[in-house]
Amino acid sequence: MEQEPQLPRRSFLQRASMLAVATGTLLTTRDLKAARSDASMSIDGWPEMEYRTLGNTGFSGSRLVFGCGAALSRGQANHLLEPAFDAGMNVFDVGFEGYYADAEKNLAPFLKKHGDDVFLISKAFAGDFKSGQSINTSQAKSAARSWSMAMDRSLAGLGVEHMDAYYLMGVNNVDLIRSEELHEAFLTAKAAGKVSYYGLSTHENAENVILAAAHTGWFSLAQIAITPAGWYDWGTRSMVDDGQSMMALRPVLDAARDAGIGLIGMKAGRFIAGRRFLSWGKPDAFNEYYNERLLAAPLTPFQRSYAYVLANGLDAVNADMQVWTHMRENFAAATSAQRYFY
């Protein structure tokens, strides 16, 4: 494709603000073809990526994490990996084949080239438990075996012998978080050189899960579904109605950080994307949480939500980027957009 002429860094947000038109189209029609037409596939003029130390890992990770799961499940975003890396993204998060099809296999060639220069995360379920269910020793041992086997399959699919972190995926049960059997499975894998850090992802019962993880002192990373309005529940595709905005949840986030847990957000803008039967899109859903300066900024609704959560308690956001336009928009939110909070 023809490349754009190089732009000065100060012009990046001006250019990014033009994405609002494309975003509006996506919110109402889901016209990915229209979004693709805006793509130039050039990172010329992009600002420098911002970085934060991810919990007790000591790793300086990009504030925008490349979410490889859905994006690489059928290889549809393989072409974005190299430009993402060139633009400064150095954290790549994927997941096991039982949920994300061929995503790990599609990431493997990229890791062969850049594996020593990136922070690699994968994840798998450790059983199917309800949030309030008590887990006995036998169930915990079975969960640990299943998770360990999934880790081995992930390593094989990725074509690597070591991952930086492996998560308990979609965990909603505090007994699972506190399970000594699962923690021992992690320690065994760590001793074998398979993984360095223990993590979790959660989008249900998140507050209790995060506080339990902080109490154990075992976890280094947590990926959480949080928005300016508070917790987002992926199961119901709705906001958790507990009256707590993200600002009200800062004590929970701070407790995790004090325990050495790096916090990575997900689904920060999913609620404003809407659902088909609601005619797609709630672009103003979080406006009540923004100050006048942010509302007047030349940002799309998605950029505002990403910038807000990054400025109010998160180290990074994980984004599912399947087209160039989305990656460019998210990059702006994770970098230049931060100026609106300082």
Architecture of the domain whose range is 9-341? Alpha-Beta Barrel (3.20)
User: According to the model, what pLDDT value does residue 339 have?
Assistant: 73
User: According to the model, what pLDDT value does residue 8 have?
Assistant: 38
DSSP alpha helices (H): ranges in 118-249?
A: 137-158, 174-177, 180-191, 206-216
User: According to the model, what pLDDT value does residue 13 have?
Assistant: 41
Cα separation of 272 and 333, whole Å? 16
For 292-310, what is each residue's pLDDT tens digit? 989 999 889 999 999 999 9
For 240-272, what is each residue's pLDDT tens digit? 999 999 999 999 999 999 999 999 999 998 889
Q: What is the pTM of this model?
A: 0.88
For 154-178, what is each residue's pLDDT tens digit? 999 999 999 999 999 999 999 999 9
- Sign of the Cα torsion 201, 202, 203, 206 reads negative
Above 50 in pLDDT, residue 37? no
Domain ranges of the chain: 9-341
The length of the chain is: 342
User: According to the model, what pLDDT value does residue 14 have?
Assistant: 42
Q: Helix, strand or coil for residue 211?
A: helix
Average pLDDT along the chain: 88
Q: What does the CA dihedral 181, 184, 190, 195 come to, rounded to 10 degrees?
A: 20
Lowest-pLDDT range of 102-106, 112-116, 247-251, 338-342: 338-342
Q: Helix, strand or coil for residue 233?
A: strand
Is there a contact between 50 and 338 (Cβ–Cβ < 8 Å)?
yes
Distance of CA 320 to the CA centre of its chain: 8
User: From start to end of 10-115, where are the E strands?
Assistant: 51-53, 60-62, 64-67, 91-93
For 121-156, what is each residue's pLDDT tens digit? 999 999 999 999 999 999 999 999 999 999 999 999
Of 45 and 264, the structure prediction assigns the larger pLDDT to: 264
